[in-house]
Structure 1
Amino acid sequence: MRYLLLLISLVLISCQPKEQKEEKVEELTIEEKAQQLAKKFIILDGHIDLPYRLKESGFNIEEDKEVILATENGNFDYQRAVAGGLDAPFMSIYIPASYQETGGAKALADTLIGLVESIANAYPDKFAVAHTAEDVANNFEAGIISLPMGIENGAPIENDLANIKYFNDRGVSYITLTHSKNNQICDSSYDPERKWNGLSPFGKQVVEEMNKVGIMIDVSHISDSTFYQVMELSKAPVIASHSSCRHFTPGFERNMSDDMIKLLGEKNGVIQINFGSTFLADKSRQVWNHVKPYNDKAKADPSDTASANYVKRYLAENPLFTNVQKAADHIDHVVKVAGIDHVGIGSDYDGVGNSLPTGLKDVSTYPNLIAELLKRGYSEEDIEKICYKNVFRVWKEVDKLAEASM
């Protein structure tokens, strides 16, 4: 009888519904999944203007280093970077175009590189300068934020090709050929004067030398004709470290046309989407173009309260900001034109002022973009490519080509 009762008990247990025998596994929300992926994958951002912001504020590593950990200023600090899962923010070594006229571009680049190095030296348990994709991967495994560097504006090369290797040795991994004005290398998208109609004779040598040395060529800021000449000359794929799609901002040459994005993809390059609202939405550009003259007047003359007040009133009625969904639209568009292997992130944090979209206000907000991509059906593999793998591919190929040319 005892054995019969035991047998009946076992039969009854086996007949219980599965959910009563096993604990229910709670499914993650999209937002929770995005947070998880932001920690799981390396997040590489192609362009953050922290060094120049710190220099302009009078930053001194001995006295002010704690602002690197947490600050109310700007878009970047350590705490927010950790919260957003940011692992490899490319530090922009930004050289204003004025230095092309006054001189001192190389000296400023050295100063800003030294500033980045000082941050890594002050907090070796939190930051490390990175020169290669492998450096970034190793730092990620160690729980350290990498600080790779890119020079924004090739003016510091001056007229000496040897300076390309010099900056490579100092840890620079990409150079944006120019900025807001034509320089000794090429024409700028922002400058109506087309001095060279593309690359200068020296600029063509610069492209070849960057391939030889192993520095990625950044085609953000350059004119269309310069872009096409670079694509013809460069043996290595190139990046656009902080550009967006002209499809959404007709007539804005600073962004890339569909034809350019398609060619970039065919040449195995990557466009890294700029988060500035005026890069993402034509409406934002129209609003900014309207208020800019008044804003410039107010900045030049603090007593001009009429201009300042007009800007406030106009922006209150005509919002400048777009949103995180618009940034995802640009990623969608690149994928449609060139494919999933040719898009990345290049926020331009600390470089686009107060024009950042709702949902992407600082380096803590990358999970918001990941969540939006998940909602649109992007796979984990797709998101991993956008977060870092696409740029890693270019970076490694540039280094491989340089090693082969030695």
Structure 2
Amino acid sequence: MTKLPIKNIPFQLAKSLAIGLTIVSLAACQPGENSQEKNTTAADTSNKKPVTEQRSSQVSTSAAELAQKYIIADLHVDVPYRLENKFEDVAKATESGDFDYPRAVEGGLNAPFMSIYIPAKLQEEGGSKALADKLIDGIEKLITDSPDKFAPGRSVAEVEAAFKKGLIALPLGMENGSPLEGKLENLEHFYKRGIRYITLAHSKANHISDSSYDENRPAKGLTEFGKKLITEMNNIGIMIDISHVSDEAFFQVMQLSNVPAIASHSSARHFTPGFERNMSDDMIKLLAEKGGVIFINFGSTFVSQKSRDNWDKYSAARKAFMEENKVAQNSEEVKQFTAEYRQATPFEFATTEDVLDHFDHVVKLVGIDHVGIGSDYDGVGDSLPTGLKDVSTYPNLIQGLIDRGYSEQDIAKILSGNLMRVWKQVEDYAANN
């Protein structure tokens, strides 16, 4: 395994040295985004993996240079909750996970939105706000402990300033609005703490919105508080994230918001019919009509129907085994069942080409100004496509875009230009309201 010798050198120099270097990794957590919670357990496979993913030998000098030339923003990286489960110093090379500083430098990543993920179960048990504050504390400590590597990313200006200084900005997005607890004063609290987008719901309906994963939809879209919240998010300058919400909630957001919204980590339903967690063509068109952006999720079960079918068959078999043997999901019996099942029927990973198909589809549907990157690194377990296994591999994506005829200007928009446009619109609206 080759490690980059960069942890004690300036970031911009490290970025220059990174061009052309090869590093090795293979993801190994739980395949697919679970419909109930994040895949942070090792119930289905080993949670140990080599540090880095080998960059494709087909990456050209042009692709590697573009990865270093432009700000790369990834709208959804689940580092905070990963570290809550098992702490590792991501300022150094880590033994697991999809993100650390050396790999981010290798891939050219400059502005990963740190996901303040709140499990839906806390909506009933309480503690959402406390966990959100704790996760934010963790990112603030990371920045304080490694000021030569990381910086806050509370605005477009801060992200751009960090890039010029050779630092990785760490903007914050909250995945699940449950920490607001129905109080608008909590919105102001989290804005002051640096939250710059809020995913209204996660895997269950909450006091804001119905969820695409939850058959129980009491609000038939947004709740009354949720409708008020849209206006207040506009006014304070927090982007509205419609990933995870029900279709009904999405269309209501489109009616109510005075600024563009985002889908921080969703893909195109065109390729996964019936999977409501992804966006339909009509939704993508309306999102774009309102100026918004869909940031493509890399998870195999988001981008490939074959991967979804494989995962669904496994899930059904596991459920039947659990019911027949009266055992829990995290039991040793289920771990053994999974190991034997996967030995006989390996998970079918998507490819970089599958992910690129989603970018192509959105561009053909609504144009280049409405698509970006929302990988869900550290959030979808071992379901990442071949060629895009961790944050070192953005050059593989860039190479694919080049191969498909995207211009440098187009690629710059995908990497961060489209995000910056929407984020600036949200900032400007709030400044005048």
TM-score by length of 2: 0.83
**After TM superposition, where is structure 1 displaced by more than 6 Å over at least 4 residues in a row?**
none
Q: In structure 2, how many angstroms separate the alpha carbons of the residues matched to 1:315 and 1:238?
A: 40
C-alpha contact 1:99 1:105 (8 A) present in aligned 2: yes
Aligned residues: 369
Which of 338, 345, 362 is matched with 1:308 structurally? 338
SS at match of 1:68: coil
1:119–1:305 Cα change, 3 Å: closer
Residue 289 of structure 2: aligned partner: 266
Find out whether 1:38 has 2:67 as its counterpart: yes
Find out whether 1:357 has 2:385 as its counterpart: yes
Q: In structure 2, how many angstroms separate the alpha carbons of the residues matched to 1:128 and 1:385?
A: 23
Residue 288 of structure 1: aligned partner: 311
C-alpha contact 1:48 1:351 (8 A) present in aligned 2: yes
Residue 16 of structure 2: aligned partner: none
Which of 75, 87, 97 is matched with 2:110 structurally? 87
Residue 415 of structure 2: aligned partner: 387
Measured on the aligned residues, the alpha-carbon RMSD in Å equals: 1.3
Q: In structure 2, how many angstroms separate the alpha carbons of the residues matched to 1:384 and 1:272?
A: 14
Trace 1:3-402 onto structure 2 (pairs within 5 A).
Answer: 31-57=60-86, 59=87, 64-65=88-89, 67-294=90-317, 297=322, 299-304=329-334, 307-316=337-346, 319-402=347-430
Q: In structure 2, how many angstroms separate the alpha carbons of the residues matched to 1:114 and 1:304?
A: 35
C-alpha contact 2:196 2:239 (8 A) present in aligned 1: yes
C-alpha contact 1:31 1:368 (8 A) present in aligned 2: no
Residue 7 of structure 1: aligned partner: none
SS at match of 2:377: coil
Q: In structure 2, how many angstroms separate the alpha carbons of the residues matched to 1:342 and 1:162?
A: 32
Structure 1 segments unaligned to the other structure (5+ residues): 1-28
Aligned-pair CA distance for 1:311? 2.5
SS at match of 2:114: strand
Aligned-pair CA distance for 1:194? 1.1
Aligned-pair CA distance for 1:299? 4.3
C-alpha contact 2:377 2:390 (8 A) present in aligned 1: yes
Q: Which has the higher contact order (CA 8 A, sep 6+)?
A: 2
1:304–1:214 Cα change, 3 Å: closer
1:304–1:179 Cα change, 3 Å: closer
Q: Partner letter of residue 402 of structure 1?
A: A
Residue 4 of structure 1: aligned partner: none
Mark the structure with the bigger radius of gyration: 1
Q: In structure 2, how many angstroms separate the alpha carbons of the residues matched to 1:364 and 1:32?
A: 15
Q: In structure 2, how many angstroms separate the alpha carbons of the residues matched to 1:314 and 1:384?
A: 43
Residue 404 of structure 1: aligned partner: 432
Aligned-pair CA distance for 1:292? 2.1
Q: In structure 1, how many angstroms separate the alpha carbons of the residues matched to 2:122 and 2:339?
A: 33
Aligned-pair CA distance for 1:338? 1.1
Q: In structure 1, how many angstroms separate the alpha carbons of the residues matched to 2:340 and 2:313?
A: 11
C-alpha contact 1:30 1:374 (8 A) present in aligned 2: no
Q: In structure 1, how many angstroms separate the alpha carbons of the residues matched to 2:132 and 2:419?
A: 23
Q: Partner letter of residue 228 of structure 1?
A: F
SS at match of 2:384: coil
Could you list the per-position Cα deviations for residues 157-215 of structure 1 after superposition, in whole angstroms to 9, with x for gaps in the alignment? Answer: 10101111111110000000000000000100000111110000110011011001100
Aligned-pair CA distance for 1:312? 1.5
SS at match of 2:169: strand
Q: Partner letter of residue 34 of structure 1?
A: A
Q: Partner letter of residue 233 of structure 1?
A: L
Q: In structure 1, how many angstroms separate the alpha carbons of the residues matched to 2:219 and 2:138?
A: 34
1:295–1:132 Cα change, 3 Å: farther
Q: Partner letter of residue 309 of structure 1?
A: A
Residue 26 of structure 2: aligned partner: none
Q: In structure 2, how many angstroms separate the alpha carbons of the residues matched to 1:311 and 1:362?
A: 26
Could you list the per-position Cα deviations for residues 220-263 of structure 1 after superposition, in whole angstroms to 9, with x for gaps in the alignment? Answer: 00000000000000001001000000000000000000000001
Q: In structure 1, how many angstroms separate the alpha carbons of the residues matched to 2:379 and 2:415?
A: 20
Residue 8 of structure 1: aligned partner: none
Q: In structure 1, how many angstroms separate the alpha carbons of the residues matched to 2:335 and 2:143?
A: 42
Aligned-pair CA distance for 1:304? 4.3
